[in-house]
Structure formats: C-alpha cells, structure tokens
Amino acid sequence: MRRNWASLSGLFAVAAAAIILSAYSGASSPEGNQPQQPINFPHPTHVKTLGMNCLYCHSAANKSPDPGLPAVGTCMGCHLVVAAQKPEIKKLAQYANSNTPIPWERIHKLPEYVRFPHVRHVSAGVTCQKCHGQVQDMAQVYQQESLNMGWCISCHLENKARYDCAVCHY
Amino acid sequence: MASSATPLGSPLGDPLRRPNIATGDVQLPAVRDYEQVDREIIGTLHPTVAWFIGLGTAILFLIIGAAAWIYQIYAGLGVAGYNPPVMWGVYIITFVFWVGIGHAGTLISAILYLFRAGFRTTIYRCAEAMTVFAVMTAGLFPILHLGRPWKFFWLIPYPNWRMIWPNFKSPLVWDVFAILTYLTVSSTFLYVGLIPDIAVLRDRETNPVRKRIFAVLSMGWRNTDREWRHFARMYLFLAAFSTPLVLSVHSVVSFDFAMSLVPGWHATIFPPYFVAGAIFSGIGMVFTIIIPLRKWFGLKHYVTLNHLDAAAKLCLFTSLVVGLAYITEFWVAWYSGNKIEQEYFWNRVFGQWWWAAWIMLICNMVLPLSLFSQALRRNTTWLFILSIFINIGMWFERFVIVIPSLSHEYEPWQWTTYAPTWVDYAILAGSFGWFSMWFLLFIKQLPVIAIAEVKEIIPPKMRHGHGRHDQGVEHGGIANPLTAGGPHTTGGTH
Amino acid sequence: MSETPSSTGVKRRDFLKILGTTGALAGCNMDEPGKLIPYLVSPDNTVPGVSTYYATTCRECSAGCGIISETRDGRSIKLEGNPDHPVNRGALCAQGQAALQGLYNPDRHRGPMIRRNNRLESATWEEAAALLAQKLRDARADGSASRAVFINEHESGSFPAFLDGVLGAFGIPAHLPYHAEGDTGAAMAHQEAYGAAWPRLDFSAARLIVSFGADFLDGWGASVPQQLDFANARAALDRAPRFIYIGPRRSLTGLNADEWIDCKPGSELSIARAVLGVGGSAADAATQSGVSAERLTRLAAEIAAARPNLVLASGTTGSGGELASAVAAFNRGAGNVGTTILQGEQIVGLSGAATYAEMIDLVGRMNNGQVPMLFVRGVNPVYSMPKAAGFGEAMAKVPFKVGFSSYPDETSALCDLVLPDHHSLEQWGDAEPIPGVLGLQQPVMDPVFNTRATADVLLVAARADATIAGRFPQATYRDWLIARFPGGASAFAGALTTGLARGAPARTTAARRAVPPAAAPTGIEQTEGDFYFLPYPSPTLGMGEGANKPWLQELPDPVSKICWQSWVEIHPLTAQRMGIDSGDHISIRTSVGEVTAPAFLYLGIRQDTVAMPMGQGHTAYGRFAKGIGVNALDAAPSVLDPRTGSFLPVATKARVTKAAGHSRLVTTEGSARQHGRGIARAMLASELGTPKVEHGHEFMGDASHAFLPGLRAPVANDAQGELGSDLSASKGMYAPDHWSGMAKRRWAMTIDLARCTGCSACMTACYAENNIPTVGAPHQGPQLFPDRTGAGANITRSREMTWIRIERYFEGGEHGENEFEARFIPMLCQHCGNAPCEPVCPVYATYHAPDGLNIQVYNRCVGTRYCSNNCPYKVRYFNWFGYGEPDRPQYAFPEPLNWQLNPDVTVRSKGVMEKCTFCVQRIREAENRATVEKRAMQPDEFTVACAQACPSRAITFGDAAEAGWAVNELIEDRRAYHVFEELNTFTAVVYLQKVNHPAPGSPAPAAAAAGVPHGE
C-alpha cells in the first residue's frame, strides 16, 4: 500500500515537471490579446452591414507575404463624406489632416523567425477566419487562435501542406 | 555490515554476504574499541577556524565564477577564449575533468566493495562524497558552455506544443541521461551508506534541532537485525547497480568525441581510454583530499599507510593503462596510414601544442611510475605531490584532446590557435570553489569515515571492561548488535 | 527603432514608410506585438511586402555598370547587375554591392553646413543656397569667377556638360574631372595608338596575354567587363590563352597568371623593348630588370609565336607612360587592334579624366592665392593625393571652399560650405557606358537624409541670378535631362524600365586649361634607400573611397586576406634576413615621409621590394574609416610622369627597418598550404583529354559514387551504401513520391575554378543578401594596431561570419622561389547529402531538408557548437556576441544601415549558429511565385546571390535532380570533384578543377600532384 503511494508521488513529480516545461515551451502565445485601438474600427459594420470584402482594405493579402493595412487615404476615400460627423471618424480625419499615420496596435504577430506568406495561404483557399478568427463579428478585434507552432503544424498536416522546418523558418 | 546479519547464525554459507574481511593490510592496531571509534570520528565534526577560512575561500571562488558566468550570459560567449574552429574550450575540458574525478569514488565504494577489498573501508566515504560533488560540478558545464543556456531544457525529452523531441542520435543527449543517472545513483548510494552513521550522530547529538534533523535523515534507524539485513541487501544491490555506471558514464562522455569525425577524436579506443583515465584522475583527487584530511583530523590510525599503499597500487595500475592508451593512439594514427590523422598527432606532440602534450605525458605516464617503489607508495608527502601532478596532468589530457584536434582539422585554411580569457579562468576557479564548498560542508556535518564499517574490522577484544559509559556508548557500543556480532565475525574468519 | 529617427536625422516621412513592413529585425526573440504603421497615401504600383525593381546606373567607379535595385517598402535592400547592360552583363563587383552601405552610411552629412567662427555648423538649405547664390553672383560680378575651380569626380554622361554649362554661365572655367585611381597614362597611350582611351579587351581572341603591371582584374580600367571577358577566355580550357604577368609584385591579377616574371620596378620598359622586339637587347634588359636573359629570350620567342596576342601595360609602373605607349605601339604593329583590342566597344567612362599634372598645377595656383573659390564634388583629393603634394595646405589658402561630398571626408572637413549631395541611388542622371548607349540613373528611393542633388542646387543658384536665369528654363536636373532626351518624357519613362537607351549624352565643349609638361623626375634607381617602395590601390578599398563601408573593410584583401588593417608586404626570405616575423612592425622611410605597419610575409613580391596597399589611414570619413591603419601615400613622393602628366606611385626607394611593436594580422587565413589534401585541385590543359578516374566502393560503407547530387534525394540511409539499414526503408517526406514532393528536388551548385579569379564579389553579395553582420577586428571601429586580447576580439580570434569565403592556397615556392601557383576556391556550406553536422545536433536545429538543403533553424539552436566541430569544411559561423542587437557595442547595423536588412532573412541573435542556406529565401520565393501562378518552376528561373553577382560567372546554382537546369550538365563535367569526397559527405557543391597552362616545353608544375586527396 505504502509502496503505491510512494510510486504515485513520483509520478506526480514527473507529470508536474512535464507540464511546467510544456507550458513554458508554449507560453509565448499572446492568445486573447485585445488591445484598445487608437480608433475604434468596427469590422462588423464594414464586413457584415456593408458587405465589404477583406481584400478591399487588406488589399495585398492575395498578392504579397504582407496583408497590408489600408492607407489613411483609403479610409478617407469614403469617410470624407460617409459618417463624417461621428466622433471616431473625426479622429480619423484628424490623422489624415495632420499627415500622421494611425498607430494601430498590433494584435496578430508571429516571431521574426517565422515566415508566413499570406499570398500562398489565401491562394490555397485558407480563409482569413482560419487564423484571425471571426473578425467580422468582433466589435473589437482580439487574437482568437494561439498561433503557436503546434497549431500551425496540425493545420499543415490536415491540409497536406509541407511541414518541413525550413518551409517557415529561415 | 554484511556480518551484521550473523546473529541470525546463517550467513557464512552465503558467499554474497561473506563479511568484510579484516585482512592483514587493513588491521587498525591503534583503534581499540567502538567507543573510541565514535569519539574520534564524531570528534572531527566540530567546526574550526581553519575550516571556516577554507569555506570562505571556497565560496569566494564560487562567487567569482558565478559573476563571470552572469557576465558571459549577458555579453555573449565571445567573452570566452573561443577561436573558431576551436568551438569547444575550457568548459568542455573541465566538464570531462570533473566527470572523471567522480569515477574513482564509485569504483572504491562499489566495485571494491564487491571485491571485498578491505582497504576501501576507511577511504570510501570520502571518495563517494567526492563523487557526488564532482558530478554536481561537472553537470554545470554542459549548460554553462551553451550559446543560449536558458534553452538547455530542449535537450530533455518532454511533451511540448511543437511536437519536437531531442535528437537521440546526438551524443550530447546521451550525456544528459548519463550524467543525471550517475548523479542520482551515486547520491543515493552515498546516502544509504550514511544511514547507520547518521543514527549514531542522532544518538550522540545534544542540540535538539540537529537531533531532529538527524532523526529524520536516519529514517528512524534502530539497529535491529531486520534493519541490518535489509540494509546489507540494499547496499549490495546499490553497489552492484553503480558498478556498470563506472564504465558506462565515461564511455558515453567519450562518445562526445569518438562519435565525431574530427582527427584525434574519431577513435574506438576512447571509451576504455576515458574510463581508465577517469579512475586514474579520481584516485589522484582522493589522495589530494584524504592525505591532508587524515592529518588535520588526526585519523592517521584509521587511514593507515597500508590503505594508501593499496590505493597507490591501483593508481599505478590505471596510470599504466592510460599510458598504454596514449601509445596506442599514436600507433593507430601511424598504422592507419591516414595522412590527416598522422599530421594531427605529429602536431599534437611536436607542433604548436607540444607543451600541453608533454605536460600530459609526464604527469600521467612518467611520474606515476615512481609508485613501483614501496617507500614512495608509503610516503604521504610524495603521494600528495604526485596527486597534484596527476590532477594537472589529467586536466591537460582533456586539453590535448579538445584543443589541438579542433585547431588542426581537415581544412588547413581554418587552422588556428586558442587562448582562454579571464572569463574561462574565473569559471574554472569557480568550479573548484563550488566543489570545495560542498565538500567542506560535508566533512563537518557527516563522518568522513564510515563508523559502522570501521567497527567491523577492528579487533573484537574491546568488549570487556567498558561497562559504565555515557549515553553514546550505550547506543554506539552496547546497544549495537555489532558488539554481539564481533566474535562471530572473527570466529567466522578464523 | 521608433525613437531613433530624430536623433539620427533620418527623415521622418521615409522612416514611417519603413514600418509598413514586418522586417526581420529583432532576431530570435519573441517580442511583444508592436505598432502597425500604415502608409498615409499608398504609393501607386507598390504592394507592401513585395519588392519593386528599379534599373539604374552604378556610380561607384566611372565604368557605369547597370544595376537593378530591389526596393521593398520604400528602402533599397539589394543591388544586382543588370543582365541587359552591355558593360557588366548582370555581374556586379564588391564595390558596386557596397554602394548600399554608402547610401545608408550612418556617418553621412545630415544636411548642409556653413563654417561659422571656424566651425562647420549645420544650417538650413535656404541659408546654404542663399550663401552659395550670393557668392557665385559676386564672383561673376567682380570677375574672380574666372579663377574659381570646380573639381568633380570623373564620370561619363550628361552631368559634366551640364556642369560646365552652369559654371560657364557664372564665368567659371570648365571643371576638373578628377579620378584618383584612373590610369590616365595608359588612357592617353591607348588614345594615341588605338583612337580609344579604354578599348574592350577581347581575351578570348588572344592566344597569349602579357601584362606589364596592368591589373585588369583589380582596379586597372573597368574590372567587371574585363573580368567577364577574361573568365570567358580561360573557360575555353585547352584553347584558353596563357597569361604571363610581369612586375615586381604579384597582384590579384598576377596571381591569376600562369607565369610571373618578377622584374625590378622601373625596368618594365627595358623588358618590353627586349621581348616585344621594339629595340633593346635581352642582355641589358636582364641587367636592368634582374630577370635572366634566357628567360627573356624565351618570352620573346613565345610572344612572337603566339598571334594574335594581347599585351597590356599600366601607365603607373616605375616606367610610367613611356611603357604604356611602347606596348600600345606594339599592339598596333602586331595587328592586335581590332582582334584582341576592340576600340569600337570602348569604355567611355575612362576617357577624358584630368591628369595629376592638372591637380598639381591647381595646388600651385592655390598656394599663390590665385584661386578665390574652390568647389569639390565626389572626390577627396586631400586624402587621395600624396601628402607630399600638399593639397590640404594649399586648399586652406582658398578664401571660399564649397564641398558637395555626402560624407564627412578629409576634404569636406576643410570646406566653408558643405552642400551634401544625394547618393547616386537617390538622384537622377545618366552615363555613357559604351559609345551610343545611354545608361539612365534614377532614384531608387526617397533620400535618407536632408541632402540635395548638386545639379539641382546649382540650378537653383543659377536661376537665382537674374542675369543668367534665362538660360535655365528647367527647375530641376530631371527636367533638364528629359528636355534633351530623344523622344521626350514618354520615351524617358519607357527607357527607365530597362535603364538603357540609345543615344549620346550632352557633350561638354568648354576646353580645360592647358598644363605645362612636367620635368623628368629623378629615376627610381637614383633615389636613396635599400628597398623599392611600391604603394598600390587596394582591390577592396580602392584609393580609400571604400573605407567607410564595413562590408568592404571586412572583405579580406584577395591577395593578403587581411582586413580592417594596413600591412607591409615583404618577401619571407628578406624578412628572415632582417629578423622580421609576421606581424612585426616595419617602418618605411622615404625622402618625403615615414609609415609604419605590421609585416605580411608574401611570396609574390621581389626580395628587394616592399609593397603597401592604399585606402586606409583616414583622419576623417566616419566611424568605419577613421583611425584604421595608415595611408601608404604619406611616404610616397608626388612624382609626375613627364610624358603623360599622371601620378607615378612607384617612384622611389625607401629605408626599411624593423620598428618596435608587433600586432596580430587581422587575417582570415589559417594555413596557406593545402598539405596535399586536394581541396583546390588543378589539372594541366594537356590532361583534359585523359579519361576521368572514378572512385567508389573502395572501403566498406562507401556508397556508390554514382551518388552524385541530384541523382536521387539525399537520405543518409542511401549514403550508407550496403550498410544502410532496412529498418529505415520508409523515408517519409524524404521519399520522392511523398505528397509534399520536396524530395523531388536536389538543390546543388557548381563552382568552376578555371573561371574564379578570387575577386571576392560573391562574399559581399552574400553579406548584402543574408544580413551577415560585419564584426570588425577587435570590434567595429578604429584600432590602429589591433590585438586579440580583450573580450571584444572578433576577426582577431577568427570570428568572421563570411558564409562564403575565398580560400587562397599556394602551390610551390616552399623555399621562397618565385615559381609558385595560387589557387582560389570559394568555400561555403557544401549541403552534404550525408552531413556530419546533422546527427550531432542534440535539438535538430540543423537537419536535412528533403529538397537537399542542410538547414539551420536559428530559433531552435541552443548553441552547443558541436555541428561546427564536426564540419570538415568549417563553414559554420557562431554568433559570439549580439551582432544584431542595437544596444550592443558589437551592433553591426547602426541606424540607418539596418534599413538595408533583407526582410526575408532572419537577423540571427546572440548564441546561435548560422551558415550558408543556399539562399533558401530565394528558393521559397520562387516556389511561392510558381505555386501562386499555378505553374511549375522553370529551370534556371532564379539563382542565389553569390552566383548572381559573380563577375567571372564561376558559380552555377540549380536543381540537380531536374533536367534542364544548367547545373545538371556541369556536375557531370570531366573536371568535377567533391572536396573531401573520401569522408562520404556527398556534397551538393561540386567544384570543377582549375586548368593550368605551363610554358610551352616547360616541365609540368606540381599542379596535378596537389590535386590528389590523401584518401586515395
């Protein structure tokens, strides 16, 4: 009886160590990160209500490794007239008039040693939501997926995408 | 202690449990009775000024080393003397050096126990403690020499989100297992051997706190026959268990080199060569430690010249083996007909590293030959001086293996040199500080000579005329079944 | 980065553009998500994260090569040769690559500066322009303008004419087109003999090449086209011309020669006369030159026999312009003009430079106070002229001095008004590489600093002056160019896409001031001293203009392999005699000065000569140049060639003594001998016919040597031959039929040693492409005599990070004879099919990718460095310090140098291993492109950075597993071999043996012998 207890405690110790290590190894993901943005941009309004395509603003996502951000000019294209009186739009106009770009808070960030060419994923039919979550429903955008390596790999395996290290790390 | 089971009357038939024979060369004529054993050995435990000074110095060195390491982590490995392609330097050398030191302890406490070599009795505790602390020291270096030490845990297999395991083909991963195993087993072995002695300390202790601690550590040892029987088994099995480690651990360490294709490393002779070297260096270190110790602690009548003499013979033998290995290496290089190998060995002895090679050859091959003379084997001063030379020589053996090979490899365009910086030296010194700190702490808390085992080999006559005595004798003497066991033991041996 | 711009003077507007991208600047640390800065108004036709390519013209030297700038998110990140350009045909030299570090140089002037109370203080452009305009107006008014002088860097194109136009309007005489390095003597001789100052040299047509100190591979003329033609000629193997080099020192060009005739400096002319049969006997040539008479007669016979041949002569040898003329005359007589010398395709950029005599004349006038105003643009005469010429002192006497230099160099430090010019990559312009072709120059990005194009500054000044404003209708130089461009704006815009157009630039009509011929100098033999003193322009730093670019400072000299340092070349036997050891300081004293530098023992120099490279020893010019080494010109007398009026660097003897002190040579060289290990192999042209010996199955475990790269996917198990384990039969992703398809490819490379000249352009290209940090000698920054002590030691502890290095091995000459052979071999990661580094890594940080690449995953590396220990080729490099971390003293990319970093390549962090990746980022990019365009990758669709730059076209990269790639045929070449083949590494890099051409009838040199590796 006592022997069992002894062995159990040993097992617990090992398990604890493993958990701590694996937690440490995966702890790098800022999952759920939901910062306050300089301008409270409502994705739902633009995507669901107005039915705009993601690529209208993030125009490079299907041409480039970088998805690209809409230039302030692009925003003003509509908002010179549309809803120009709303406080948030006033803020936008301020940036535009003072020739200062909007310092958006970054949410989805992979480490510098990871290459994620948006163009290949988009052209392979991976939806934006797969990685960025249901942005069209997010009044304020947050990071839904962990975006850590295990998460990437499992998707690559499911979809028979290459999973060799040097496909992303170089 | 195996003899402790004799009260049950059965053991003499059981070859495994034949008593630890007190042969002629291990008689302790100056030791009269158990009470004297307890008094004298426990008497060594009182801290002295000299001890405090020694401990302070050790800690100072440790701090210097630690500071250097912190600086190295901040600034980068470049502050050490690496000179590509010499990508390994003082740290790996010192790592192998300390692992080697460890081996003698296990050899003496385990293998010699199985071989019933009586002379081990009085020196094994000291040697074994040395083993544990040496391995503790060695274990630091593989981490210390990493470019990104904070990632060292990637060498340990554990479930992780990346679904990546360590590369089990890499000798460095084998190292991790070898060192950890060795540390676990040798420390267990040390602790188990200590239990009866801790019991004696417990019974002698007056300070209630310390008494409590000893009570816990001794696991409520009561000196019953049942305990002694289990103890004997346990100790025997542990001895049998550690024995293969003596061979395996340093073989694995040698694979770090033998498995690569670097000229001077890629050799099948490395495992036996390393094991012999390890034991050789270990015994050297045992002398370095035990000779001053028996003087300062007044234990000359326990650790007698006979014991040192016997140990010195072992030292001589391993030295011969190591020497043979050196010569074989050169012969193989010549016989292989491989120009690169030949050029490398020529460079080792007559090239840019001649001085290191000759330090190694003289300290490890030539000087120990003096031990053929019994007079010198029994001359503690000479043994001490020689042991220092052996320590130096063995450190340089590893230097000669690591540095000249890497600085003189296949690609002549990349032949370079190597010179350590103050950071290397500080961390080297720090490792000695770390080792000494633990050892000094040990010798003032726990007996450096196994009380129980010594009692087995002292003459039995002391039972008479020691009726009244203090508590200690009650426990240390009368209550100890060894007193009963004594006559049977000797009887058994007649 | 986000605080720096104001502090570094980087212009905010451009700076913000930078942040639009996720640049790989932070290394292997997962740092917190930062800010995302969008464009204000997205620039048309640019996609964030996708490179735009601008064709323009390289202005690093006057040859005017065509380059294509890869610009990403508003910053230029890489320069590559323009394949359509007639001069460089897609290749680019190290100096051209390093133009980027001139553009992003952190020490550039931040804006205009005006000297107030004897200090240069920064000013606004308005103030500066006003001051300039006013000074010019006054000068025009009081007529002093007629004595003002404008020194401009010598360049082809329209700017010289434009400049003279503006100057003329102010009454200033035509400008001085100065070119410190240019061989005006030879140009003059060529002009007389061929009617072209710098004809194209068709080495392929020649059967014999003889060069009298003409270093056509390193600095003499236009290196890139000459190297391309020379390499092509040598690649003809058995039909290749033999090459004989004559001169006291074996330069990089000399090391590429089959034979070196070491004559005394100044005796070249006598030899030329003797061997070219233009008067002069072998006997007295022998007495003068120290070369045996029979050798000279043999040479004469050989030259006579080999027709057509190509004889070249420098105008700056001890013999000066007379030699150049004599040789040119011979070529004309021998009918080489039109066959090996194509005057029709001349390099225009090398004609019409001002002679040194004109500069000396200017110094005289400045000393006499005849020069009221001096303008200097693009040159640095205070440094690049010998101290003895006293340009600096004379310049100080000029009342008003204007500098247009973009860098804080020695000359602009003396100026009263500094109007920093745009870098050539920031401004408009044109060049005339060859007659009838116009190479256009356009800005590839917005200016980094608050600088202005000199042309525009002058236009503003001219238009500000009411009386002449009418002559300058265009507001900017760009408009001026378009206005005179055939076809106007639209044609101009169209031409920009290729950067090339037909037509001629504006030509200047203004005549330059005539200069009286110089008096004949005292012959070199009459000067006092025990050694000939031979200063020569550095192949990497030129006459010092490259010294402020860390890439060039870190690029080892192709001959001595020393960097970040000055050195004195002395013959080993001489050194032995004088008790001088390598690195001991030697002091050289001449009639005009003394220099001291550590000794480099070099076989390729006469025993009675010491040589020293120029280019170091700057007293200004920024953090990377100032205070490093010494300037060889400090000891060189200012001697004029009486015939051509050009500068004769080799003109004096010197007293050479061993000085106190010793310093470790900052060299990347280990042993200069290959000890018969068959690394750089060579064969005789005569052996080419003999069948190739195939090795294989010589010992157990040796796989069939049919296993050449490409024949199948390299799996270690395959390489084990009969010892391969059946258990590992399932190869997973490594099976060619695996769905990932990666194992179908085998990326491989061939390097043709018959082509490689050792110029080292590939190294700089690699630095540029792969964000390789420059580490410096002790650390980046000045150190006159670096040592290896101190925690910062880098190259002094062989910690250079060159992913590809050029090894220079010597064959023969063990006892100091001058018959020795040099072999250059680029060494980079061999991407072994059976790599020793892979099994020893405990964490799989290095492993084998199915497509044959040996991968290093930086973020997985823990830094045990075991892989490097186990690498027989020693091509792995460790990050000893935080070279990529801004807060470190070792930081290699101080703002704005980090703008150049390639966003597709991770900047490695402290404590990780790195090495050549076969430009995996380019492979992935090509794969992505093909996949997105739903097509298969085309053979030779792309190539790696080193192969792209190589001006010898020695490197070929491709997929050896797919037919159609060029590399696929080359690996089967009769000369193909793997280095250390006997180690069973099955490398993906295949070398093609060098081919030697011994003198007719002479015994074969040790070449073939040294070709045999030890294993056999």
| Complete DSSP assignment for C125-172 | HHHHHHHHHHHHHHHHHHSGGGG-EEEEE---SSHHHHHHHHHHHHTP
- What residues of chain A lie within 8 A of the CB of C39, using their CB? 69, 71-73, 101
**Torsion angle of alpha carbons C371, C374, C379, C380, nearest 10°?**
70
- Taking contacts as CB-CB distances below 8 angstroms, the residues of chain C near B154 are 842-843, 860, 862
Chains touching chain B through at least 3 C-beta pairs below 8 angstroms are A, C
pTM of the predicted protein model: 0.90
Q: In angstroms, what CA-CA distances link C662 with B62, C578, C580, C753? A: 37, 15, 10, 36
Q: Which of A41, A115, A126, A157 to mutate to test the interface with C (most CBs of C within 10 A)?
A: A115
The verdict on B173 touching C (C-beta cutoff 8 Å) is yes
- Confidence check: pLDDT of B487 > 60: no
With a CB-CB cutoff of 8 Å, which residues 892-911 of chain C face chain B? 910-911
- List the 391-410 stretch of B: residues with Cβ below 8 A of C: 406, 409-410
> Do B260 and C869 make contact, defined as CB atoms within 8 angstroms?
yes
Percent of chain C surpassing pLDDT 90: 68
Q: For chain B, how many residues are written?
A: 494
Cα C683 to Cα C152, C992, C994, C996, distances in angstroms: 48, 10, 6, 6
CA C869 to chain centre: 32
pLDDT over 80 (residue B2): no
Gap from C466 CA to chain A (nearest CA, Å): 37
What pLDDT sits at residue C1016? 32
Residue of B87, B422, B423 to mutate for C, most C C-beta atoms under 10 A: B87
Give A84's pLDDT tier (boundaries 50, 70, 90). confident
Angle between helices B124-144 and B422-445 (to 10 degrees): 150
A: neighbours with 3+ CB pairs under 8 Å?
B, C
Residue C609, classed as helix, strand or coil, is: strand
Average pLDDT over residues C126-135: 94
Average pLDDT over residues C209-218: 95
User: Does C795 touch chain B if contact means CB atoms closer than 8 Å?
Assistant: no
Calculated CA dihedral for residues A129, A130, A131, A137, nearest 10 degrees: 30
Residues of C in contact with A26 (CB under 8 A): none
As a whole number, mean pLDDT of residues C90-97 equals 95
CA distances, B326 to each of B231, B275, B317, B363, B409 (Å): 42, 13, 14, 13, 20
Check: CB of residue C617 under 8 Å from CB of residue C596. no
Burial of A155 (0-12, 13-18, 19+ CB in 10 A): middle
Which DSSP category does A48 fall into? I
3-state SS class at A10: helix
SS3 C76: strand
Size of interface B-C (CB pairs under 8 A): 170
Chain A nearest-CA residue for B160: A22
Touching check for B9 and chain C: CB below 8 Å? no
C734 → chain A, closest CA residue: A164
Window A:56-95, CB contacts with B under 8 Å: none
What local confidence, expressed as pLDDT, does residue B465 receive?
45
* Chain C residues touching B176 at Cβ < 8 A: 842
User: Cβ contacts of residue C90 below 8 Å, gap of 6+?
Assistant: C80, C81, C82, C83, C948
DSSP C762: H
| pLDDT (tens digit per residue) in C926-983 | 999 999 999 999 999 999 999 999 999 999 999 988 889 999 889 888 898 889 888 8
* Chain A residues with beta carbon closer than 8 angstroms to that of C853: 166
Q: Is B192 on the interface with C (CB under 8 A)?
A: no
Query: Nearest-CA distance from C987 to chain B in Å?
Result: 15
**Distance separating alpha carbons of residues B215 and B234, to the nearest angstrom:** 20
- Model pLDDT, residue B7: 40
The nearest CA of chain A is from the CA of C24 a distance in Å of 5
Are the Cβ atoms of A64 and C50 closer than 8 angstroms? yes
Contact C27 A112 (CB under 8 A): yes
Taking an 8 Å cut-off on Cβ atoms, the answer to whether C49 and A68 are in contact is yes
Do residues A125 and A141 touch, judged by C-beta distance below 8 A? Answer: no
Average pLDDT of chain C, as a whole number: 87
User: Are residues C924 and A170, on separate chains, in Cβ contact within 8 Å?
Assistant: yes
Looking at CA atoms only, how far is residue B356 from chain C in angstroms?
A: 20
Q: Look at residue C971 in the predicted model and tell me its pLDDT.
A: 86
- Interchain CB distance below 8 Å, C874 and B85: yes
| Chain B interface test: which of A21, A29, A157 (most B C-beta within 10 Å) | A21
Enumerate residues 676 to 695 of chain C having a beta carbon within 8 A of any beta carbon in chain B.
676-677, 679
Q: How many CB pairs under 8 A join A and B?
A: 30
Chain A residues bordering chain C (beta-carbon distance below 8 Å): 28, 30, 33, 59-60, 63-66, 68-74, 96, 99-109, 111-113, 115, 117, 119-120, 123, 160, 162-167, 169-170
Handedness of CA C479, C485, C491, C493 (dihedral sign): negative
- 3-class secondary-structure state, position C553: helix
Determine the pLDDT at residue B473. 37
Query: C881 to chain B: which residues are within 8 Å by CB?
Result: 75-76, 78
Q: Is the pLDDT of residue B479 over 80?
A: no
Q: Do C50 and A60 touch (CB under 8 A)?
A: yes
Alpha carbon C487 to chain centroid, angstroms:
36
What pLDDT is recorded for position C6?
Answer: 38
Distance CA(C719)–CA(C704), nearest Å, equals 8
Decide if B75 and C842 are in contact by the 8 Å CB cutoff.
Answer: no
- B144-153 pLDDT tens trace: 999 999 999 9
Average pLDDT over residues C21-44: 52
pLDDT at C984 over 90: no
Which of C792, C839, C911 faces B147 most closely, judged by CB atoms? C911
- Cβ–Cβ gap C879/B421 under 8 Å: no
CB–CB contact C906 A120 (8 Å): no
Q: Which of C30, C861, C874 to mutate to test the interface with B (most CBs of B within 10 A)?
A: C874
Distance CA C836, CA B25 (A): 53
Rounded to 5 degrees, φ, ψ at C153 are -65, 140
Does position B466 have pLDDT exceeding 50, yes or no?
no
Q: Which helix (H) or strand (E) holds C186?
A: helix C184-194
- pLDDT at residue B43, as a whole number: 86
CB contact under 8 A, C809 and B261: no
Residues linked to residue C261 through DSSP beta bridges, in sequence order: C246
Residues C358-395 pLDDT 10s: 999 999 999 999 999 999 999 999 999 999 999 999 99
Q: Which residues of C touch A156 (CB under 8 A)?
A: none
Decide: helix, strand or coil at residue C284. Answer: helix
Most confident of C229-238, C686-695, C793-802: C229-238
* C625 Cβ neighbours under 8 A, 6+ residues apart: C544, C547, C548, C553, C616, C618
Cβ of B153 under 8 Å from any chain A Cβ?
A: yes
Sheet containing C400-403, strands listed edge to edge, beginning at the edge strand earlier in sequence: C119-122, C113-116, C417-418, C400-403, C373-377, C149-153, C176-178
Position B489 pLDDT exceeds 70: no
pLDDT tier for residue C679 given thresholds of 50, 70 and 90? very high
Q: Fill in the DSSP letter of residue C508.
A: -
Which residues of B fall within a CB distance of 8 Å from C788?
Answer: 419
Which residues are bridge partners to C848 per DSSP? C854
Write down the pLDDT at residue B488: 35
Q: What are phi and psi of C211, to 5 degrees?
A: -125, 125
> Which H/E stretch holds residue C652?
strand C652-662
| Over residues B93-101, mean pLDDT | 94
Q: Which residue in C665, C794, C797 has the most chain B C-beta atoms within 10 A of its own C-beta, making it the best mutation to test that interface?
A: C797
Does residue C511 have a pLDDT over 90?
no
What is the structure's pLDDT at C520? 80
Q: Give the integer Cα–Cα distance in Å for C606 and C572.
A: 10
